[in-house]
Amino acid sequence: MDYIKIRFGDDFSKLAASSDKCFSDKCFEDMFRTVNPVFSISEQNWKPQMDMYETAREIIILGTIAGVKKEDLEIEINNKAVKITGMRLGTPRVNNIKYRLAEIRYGRFERILYLPLPINTEKVKASYEDGFLEIRLAKLYLDKTYKIPISE
């Protein structure tokens, strides 16, 4: 099993010393100041995160697109690339409130993923469950040898 290495900072003493000196109201306000992100009510383009990996027989694309309805997804495929488009509808904005954090992107999205090798466009499967889109693409083997009859 492969593990992810996580490196933590070495010098925690400097961080602790600087935080010990900070007990005034101004210091706490600076640490926890209100974040007022700039919103655009109009549609925004965003890019969902994708993974692409391959097995001996197929290329698999896995995308995180939580909050997108299945009917709002469209997948276009040729033997060199996959284009995934869709729309995530936003929640209604409430007036007279302060957002403390706003990271979720809404609106139209589009991803074009170029494939590492040709695929058989006749053998493609796509599924969508729990916010994950999975596309399975069968590899096209061009190095096969075929016998061709010679006509008279």
Spell out the domains of the chain, with CATH numbers in brackets: 34-139 (2.60.40.790)
pLDDT tier for residue 140 given thresholds of 50, 70 and 90 = confident
Q: How crowded is residue 137: how many other Cβ atoms within 10 Å of its Cβ?
A: 25
Query: Can you tell me which residue has the tokens 């409130």?
Result: 97
How many whole angstroms separate alpha carbon 23 and alpha carbon 1?
46
pLDDT for 33-61, tens place per residue? 444 444 444 445 789 999 999 999 999 99
127 pLDDT exceeds 50? yes
Claim: this prediction has a pTM higher than 0.95: no
